[in-house]
Structure 1
């Protein structure tokens, strides 16, 4: 399951765009602020480069991003040049898409607030544009978003499947066949996927080898210098907290402040993380059921004890009999699961989930397909963003690959036990995923970060977060020696998403470096 910021997922689905007047055309403007602060040896030309700010329309690579990039007043975009491989700074280069909305009160400006929405693989330009109007922080900070290397407007872009191939993959429930022939077919498909990623991504395997968090944090430090900030002020959601913790470990002396919301536990391996996430989604499903059974129209009935069984009665038959949704498309079991996962990211989507499950009772699936399309970023024109490909590419180099079939089988067993509502009724499979066949080695691994000299950071963790469970935030705050702010709610991430308590605490920290008192809790 992809880990993205809840604010991104909900805004994408509901198409809630910032209420701003259109940004009129402006001539490009070149600006040089760097080099600023410490510059690693051999990287002077990158840390001191100018940026040419221009209109953002050409940077929108997905339909959902076009509105924020073209209608948010004051935003400008630029391309940052960085080494493809930091070990060879005189070799190939790539570019990073960057957006900036200047502080509205320049006389009170503190600096830049650099934002990452998560993923991995989520584009950050539109997120910064959307969030810039969510609080008064935009008075004191330039809101800065960036598309991590290989993502969105950054070039080259990681690309593995065509739109038609992605549709075909979604419609194919071969992973439900756990027989030896079924496993062999799944692994052949995964091997083919890995090969296509290397073939279709610009700069090929070299790009894939340098796509991970290790390299993204180096890009951020270049961006910090080029923006003219001696110290980094950073807001990271979900996987963006991993970026934050690795940056803190790599450049502890370059940090001014960090808000890390919806944390990943930096010490968890891929299996432990998957199981913990399954537990989180099970809790969110239980909360959804408690909400649903109070309604006359609950698709799962009025008995909470029977709701999980009724859910499985609705969804398991899709493995054999997908539901036609028109235009040659059918809702598969995997699509239905994706739709439910999407809706469990936020209570705001529970109404849609209940509607979708009621439709499924009538052999209709329009709403569930809409939810699945939103999660997988498929536009009305049938075109996909490259987020899913980038997610896989980063995941395959950020963690050691799992090639032991016994480990895979046990992981599947633990996953089904942790999230029984997602149990498809088949035995655990031992089929290897694409990372087992990845053409380059991993460049990262789980570990306890050592960030000596790091100033205090703020970690926000939500008690009912399905994607990044609460305990992971506790672990990250402890590992970084930071403060923990607890939000009592069922959703993924919290800052700048409507909680006055959370927003006030985060804003006080970012502006005045004042951390909330130990044990502070906010409630929905």
Structure 2
């Protein structure tokens, strides 16, 4: 089919949550040693490979701790997860501390803890996933056998139990947790499984608490992309832009090039424009192509957009995904966890015919998102470990508060998921909304009002953080301390 041409470059961009910006060299310079950052103490924790067989085979989980700098007033541990599910956390925590992104009050009062989930960093199964993913990339094999052997032990239910084992091993009665993106799935599941052990949980850029499989999640993504396009292209003021953009997309997906006044727009160019329309603010990609896209939509002139896209493609604008061994591992782990976690399994034929569901949710992005994401779990043969839906406040949580942070225009985890997460936790939830800003992962990334709420909550979770909105509509509202040259760990992951 014509739209199979979008594989490769665009697929990696969608898998990375529409993140781009920053070169490989820049990222390498800022990545802290993955074995153990110099500002942390690290070790390995032995846990059951399968929690259904506690006395069976044991595997090692890598973790690191940065000790509280004011021991006399120490509160406890604060465990970070940066999402994915592809991201190791030990190096990410070291990076945040090294770059002074975590407030001093938090560094004083908490042991800051990173745990490399299974399949990441130095923890169990990372090497197996790397080996099969590299072989698949080189045409020498695939990950089917590896998934059969290890995927049932990589799911979110298991990782949550690892987190609780680490809490116990470190001698803590209660857990403090800050999870970004996919990390919010772990945090919300922890609150459901171990509500009596919760002190404070921050869910930043939440996953859906109820979507049952990959297709449902990605249909939600498509709707989120359409909302961002409307925001950036000001459909409320310029409704003709929406009509024209839809005409272009329909033409391209019918198998034809789009004929502008000054030349043709190819399928690849149009698909790239769609992706960059929802790129994160921190990447700079939207600002680079927006004049040309607006010129096309308003004046039917394509030359300026084609030139901007040519420069982007020539420079490798999606260098976030470099094709390195670690990227290949990250893709393999992403697939393993998403498919293992599925609660409602779709047959291959149901996946193949789900395109109408995508298009019903987003006429502009539905078909592209379907092509790029629907088949992730098609043909999955490994055992699953389905995660439960989070539909109501866990009984054991009592009057404890959960802080939820969501972006109105988040390109990876749409705001409707933050609202759903808040509704699931009911009276225990406080929701901080980030408005007029297209990005993902907000705590300790330079947005003052978000950081204030996060810090106040972590220091005293008994106080109710009132629902509020952080308007990031001007440069002055954000310090922009985190730039593409020094990526926040939650903004540089494969997945969510």
2:119 matches 1:119: no
Report what 2:162 is aligned to: 219
Report what 1:347 is aligned to: 281
Report what 1:185 is aligned to: none
CA gap of 1:458–1:98, structure 2 versus 1, over 3 A, is same
Stretches of structure 2 lacking an aligned partner (at least 5 in a row)? 1-10, 258-265, 293-303, 473-496
- SS at 2:396 equivalent: coil
Deviations 1:439-467 (A, max 9, x none): 32321145225621212211111111122
- Alignment partners' CA distance in 2, 1:314 and 1:278: 19
- Alignment partners' CA distance in 1, 2:24 and 2:248: 24
- Alignment partners' CA distance in 2, 1:224 and 1:339: 45
Stretches of structure 1 lacking an aligned partner (at least 5 in a row)? 18-62, 169-191, 295-302, 321-331
- SS at 1:77 equivalent: strand
CA gap of 1:465–1:236, structure 2 versus 1, over 3 A, is same
The number of equivalent residue pairs is: 426
Give the number of the structure with larger relative contact order, counting CA–CA contacts within 8 Å between residues 6 or more apart.
2
Report what 1:55 is aligned to: none
- Alignment partners' CA distance in 1, 2:273 and 2:323: 13
Report what 2:318 is aligned to: 372
CA gap of 1:211–1:416, structure 2 versus 1, over 3 A, is same
2:143 to 181, 197, 201: 197
- Alignment partners' CA distance in 1, 2:349 and 2:133: 33
CA gap of 1:430–1:256, structure 2 versus 1, over 3 A, is closer
Alignment of 1:37-56 (within 5 A): none
- Alignment partners' CA distance in 2, 1:446 and 1:281: 27
Scaled by the length of structure 2, the TM-score of the pair is: 0.73
Report what 1:281 is aligned to: 225
Scaled by the length of structure 1, the TM-score of the pair is: 0.69
Report what 2:57 is aligned to: 92
- For the aligned residue pairs, the C-alpha RMSD in angstroms reads 4.2
CA gap of 1:521–1:430, structure 2 versus 1, over 3 A, is closer
- SS at 1:439 equivalent: coil
Contact 1:5 1:238 in 2 (8 A): no
What is the CA distance between 1:474 and its match in structure 2?
Answer: 1.8
Report what 2:445 is aligned to: 497
- Alignment partners' CA distance in 2, 1:462 and 1:163: 35
- Alignment partners' CA distance in 1, 2:311 and 2:335: 27
- Alignment partners' CA distance in 2, 1:254 and 1:234: 11
- SS at 2:318 equivalent: helix
1:433 to 375, 378, 393: 375
Contact 1:69 1:129 in 2 (8 A): no
Deviations 1:314-355 (A, max 9, x none): 9879999xxxxxxxxxxx978995896488352122446725
1:110 to 75, 91, 95: 75
CA gap of 1:319–1:390, structure 2 versus 1, over 3 A, is farther
- Alignment partners' CA distance in 1, 2:17 and 2:197: 25
CA gap of 1:68–1:421, structure 2 versus 1, over 3 A, is farther
Deviations 1:464-489 (A, max 9, x none): 11221212112212222322222213
Report what 1:156 is aligned to: 125
- Alignment partners' CA distance in 1, 2:30 and 2:255: 32
What is the CA distance between 1:93 and its match in structure 2?
Answer: 1.6
- Alignment partners' CA distance in 2, 1:161 and 1:315: 36
